[in-house]
Amino acid sequence: MPKVLMKGNEAMAEAAIMAGCRHYFGYPITPQTEVAAYMAKRMPKIDGGVFLQAESEIAAINMVIGVASTGKRVMTSSSSPGISLKSEGLSYLAGCDLPALVVNVQRGGPGLGGIQPSQSDYFQATRGGGHGDYHMIVLAPSSIQEMVSLTVKGFDLADKYRMTSMILADGTMGQMMEPVSLDVGEVKTYEKPWALTGTKCERKPNIVNSLFLKPDELEIFNNERYKKYAEICKTEAMHEEYRMEDAEICIVAFGIAARVAQNAIDEARARGIKVGMIRPITVWPFPKEALAKAADKVKAFIAVELNMGQMIEDVELAIRCRKPVLFCGRSGGMIPTTEDIAVKIAEAAQIGG
C-alpha cells in the first residue's frame, strides 16, 4: 500500500476506522482537534459511520459508554483538561468492564495550562484516571506509524480484556506529519456475549452496570478484575531497546521524549559514552522486567520526560532502587533538547560503576 502524509491526530482517526470503529464522540480542544475534524469528514462517507460532536467532554464519554455496552467499537479523544472531565466516565467504563479507545493528546498543565506539548498526565493515565481500583491499558506511540499500529492494537486489547485502552500521545505527536502506511493487516474481532443487543426473547437479559448493593459482591468483581490485570502485566508489556547491547547508562523515555533521547544517545556514543535506551511502548503495563534486567548491567538510569518527574517513579519501582535514576525533564509545554539530555548523560557517566 502506498504511503500517505498524515498528522498524528489524523492517523489515529483513520486507523480507528480501519480497526472497525464506526462511532466517534468528541469535543474540540487543542492540540487534538484534528481527530474530531478528520472523523467529521470521514464518518459520514462510511456505511454506518457516526460522528457526533457532543455538547461537552462529559457528554461524549457517556455516549462512549452507551455504544460500548452494545459491543460496538467506539472512540473518543481529547487533551489533558478534557480528559479530566472524562475521568468519571473512565471509571464507569472500568466498573462496567466495557471496551473503548480513549485518546489523550497531552498539553501542558495543571489547570487549563497551555496548548503546547506535555507528558504530565502520566500519573493520571497509568493509575486509572478516575476514582476506584482500576487500570487502563496505556499505549505511548513515538512515531506517526506507531500511532496507526497502536490505535489498532488498542482496540484489540480493549475487546480482548473488556477494558479501556488509552493512547497517551502529546501535542507534538498529534500535530507533526510523517509518511505512513495504512496497511494495518487483519483486524481481529471478538465474540461479545455480554453485549446489550436485544434478547429477542431468546436469552436472559444482559446487564451492564457499575453499581453494587452488596460490598462482598463488589469485592468479588474487583478481585476478578485484578486477576485480569496480573495476566496483562505478564503478557502485554511492550518496549523497544535502542543500543542497549553494551550500554552502561540506560535512558528511559516514551513518546516524543524518546525521539529526542535517541539523537542524544547517538551524539554521546560519538563521544565514546556507552548509552542506550529502553522505550516503554506500553506505560501500563510498565515493562518492569526489561528494566530489572537492565539494572543488572548498567550503572545508572536517566528518565527523560515532558513533565516534572512522573514515569521516574515507575523506573525506580521496576529496578527496586538498585541503581541511581537521574531525571531530565521540561514542563509547561517545553521539550527537553538533546543538550539538556547530554548534560544528564555526562553526570551519569561520572557515577562509579
Q: Is 6 in the site for another protein (CB under 8 A)?
A: yes
Give the contact letters, 12-51, x = binds to another protein (CB under 8 A), - = no.
--x---------------xx--x--xx--xx---------
Cβ 18 to another protein, closest distance in Å?
11
Q: Is 333 in the site for another protein (CB under 8 A)?
A: yes
Q: Is 87 in the site for another protein (CB under 8 A)?
A: no
8/287 with CB nearer another protein: 8
Residue 271: beta bridge partners?
A: none
- By CB under 8 A, which span of 129-137, 176-184, 212-220, 286-294 interacts with another protein? 176-184
Residue at grid coordinates 467499537: 73
Q: Tell me if the bond preceding 99 is cis, omega within 30° of 0.
A: no
Cβ 30 to another protein, closest distance in Å?
5
Residue 153: Cβ-neighbour burial (10 angstroms; 0-12, 13-18, 19+): buried
Q: Is 310 in the site for another protein (CB under 8 A)?
A: no
4/317 with CB nearer another protein: 4
Cβ 242 to another protein, closest distance in Å?
14
Cβ 256 to another protein, closest distance in Å?
7
Question: Which 104-123 residues touch another protein, going by CB under 8 A?
Answer: 108, 113-116
Pick the binder of another protein from 160, 228, 259, 269 (CB under 8 A).
259
Pick the binder of another protein from 100, 168, 260, 318 (CB under 8 A).
260
Cβ 107 to another protein, closest distance in Å?
9
Q: Is 228 in the site for another protein (CB under 8 A)?
A: no
Pick the binder of another protein from 56, 189, 199, 263 (CB under 8 A).
263
Interface with another protein: number of residues (CB under 8 A): 35
Cβ 34 to another protein, closest distance in Å?
8
Residue among 97, 83, 72 nearest 19 (CA): 72
56/199 with CB nearer another protein: 56
Which residues contribute to the site for another protein (CB under 8 A)?
3-7, 10, 14, 30-31, 34, 37-38, 41-42, 108, 113-116, 171-172, 175-179, 182, 256, 259-260, 263, 333, 335, 337-338
